[in-house]
Amino acid sequence: MKKNSLFICFMLFFSNLSAQKIYTIDECKQMAMENNRKIKSSTMEISVSEHAQKEAFTNYFPSLSATGLGFKAKDPFVSMNMDGTPVTFLDDGLTGSIMLSQPVFVGGKIVYGNKLSKLALNVSRQQLRLSENEVMLHVENLYWELISLYEKVNTINILDELLTSLYADVEISFKAGLITRNDLLEVKLKQNSLKSNKIDLENGIKLCKMSLCQLIGIDITGYEDFDIAKKSIEKVDNPELYYIDHFEAMENRAEKKLLEDNVKIAKYQTKMKRADYLPSVAVGAAYFKHNFMDKWEGNSAAFISVSIPITDWWKGSHAIKQQKIKEQIAVNNKIDTQEQLLIQMQNIRNELDKAYRQLLIEEESIEQANENLRINKDNYKAGIINMSDLLNAQSILQQCRDKRAEAFASYQKKRCEYLQVTGR
């Protein structure tokens, strides 16, 4: 029975492991691109813009309309008396018409309307790119945050093993009467502190997993079956390998293309506004057919219409001036935002450089903390220091390892952010 129970536990353990899917950073990004709802919505906005562009194109073609009317009057519309004989007609009837109209000149509104719809499509595509960038950066941040949390858990496990070994040694010394019970209590308190820290880290890991699942399109209730490929903290590249000229990088920014399109849109809107106050010309043809007196009769006509706004010119001049001012505002916003983008790139570069230097400092601190712990162990065994000093040395090592994990995650986040803000 005992062998069977062990076998069942063994199989359940490995079946749970096989059910858990491990994702790399590239797989997380790919799934986010395919499943993230924000990216899907941005993709749908492109479809909306494509249909709007096709709708605007139809304005080049003639418009065809048909109307029909039938009536039955309570009393005839025409009634008369002819030599004592009442005569009535038009008490019912049918009529129908077909009209074809082709705009010849509308001040350029059709042309500029089509250009605006094309620009709107470009804007939607750039907005999709911005949404992708935002989601990808969020995925990177959560991924490296998870790596940092896992590294902190690993640190706690290492220190817990050290404390377990230390507790066994201290217990032997206590039983031999070489130390007081206080040393045992200090070790036990430190172990309990580590357990409490581990609970906090595990809760943080759960939240990170749920957030990452939500981003990449996995049901958040199944976060326990989701995990990432755990990476050990390793040497990183010098950020100088990633530095490029920011003025050249500006050309690849989606924001710059959006600013340029906004200026073009403002100019076309000015031309559209001017077209509202220009003459419009249209030609067309119509065919009419009616049956008012039990006989179908028809007729046709060709027409040309010219509409000239006269009293609106005064009002229109102010409307056009307003739009010209909006043009200049769009130009000013473009220049101002481009300068801000350059400042942003330099700021992220500074933060990346700082994160790299901080990581080097933390790696050096770990070497010193390890050496400090080794010396304190020897001094404790020699009776030179007390248990509090030894445990403090272990706490310093834990702090240094945690700071290195945070610095490593911060470097990876800033590296990704710098690549993104430089259009890569």
Which has the closest alpha carbon to 405: 158, 108, 39?
Answer: 158
The SS3 of residue 133 is helix
Under a CB-based contact definition with an 8 Å cutoff, are residues 116 and 89 in contact?
no
Under a CB-based contact definition with an 8 Å cutoff, are residues 21 and 226 in contact?
yes
Along the 424 residues of the chain, how does pLDDT read in single tens digits? 455 554 445 454 444 444 568 999 999 999 999 999 999 999 999 999 999 999 999 989 999 999 998 878 777 766 666 666 665 666 778 899 999 998 888 888 899 999 999 999 999 999 999 999 999 999 999 999 999 999 999 999 999 999 999 989 888 888 887 777 898 899 999 999 999 999 999 999 999 999 999 999 999 888 889 999 887 788 899 999 999 999 999 999 999 999 999 999 999 999 998 888 888 899 999 998 988 777 888 889 998 988 888 877 777 788 889 999 999 999 999 999 999 999 999 999 999 999 999 999 999 999 999 999 999 999 988 889 899 999 999 999 999 999 999 999 999 999 999 999 999 8
Which tokens sit at 190? 């430190």
Query: Over 211-275, what HEC string results?
Result: HHHHHHCCCHHHHHHEEECCCCCCCCCCHHHCCCCHHHHHHHCHHHHHHHHHHHHHHHHHHHHHH
Question: Residue 230's pLDDT is what?
Answer: 82
Question: Residue 19's pLDDT is what?
Answer: 58
Note the pTM of the prediction, 2 decimals: 0.82
CA 354/CA 357 separation, integer angstroms: 5
CA 26/CA 182 separation, integer angstroms: 51
Question: Residue 406's pLDDT is what?
Answer: 96
10 Å CB burial of residue 344 (0-12, 13-18, 19+) is: middle
CA 267/CA 306 separation, integer angstroms: 27
Question: Residue 34's pLDDT is what?
Answer: 94
Question: Residue 181's pLDDT is what?
Answer: 87
Pairing type for strands 280-291 and 85-89 reads unpaired
Question: Residue 212's pLDDT is what?
Answer: 95
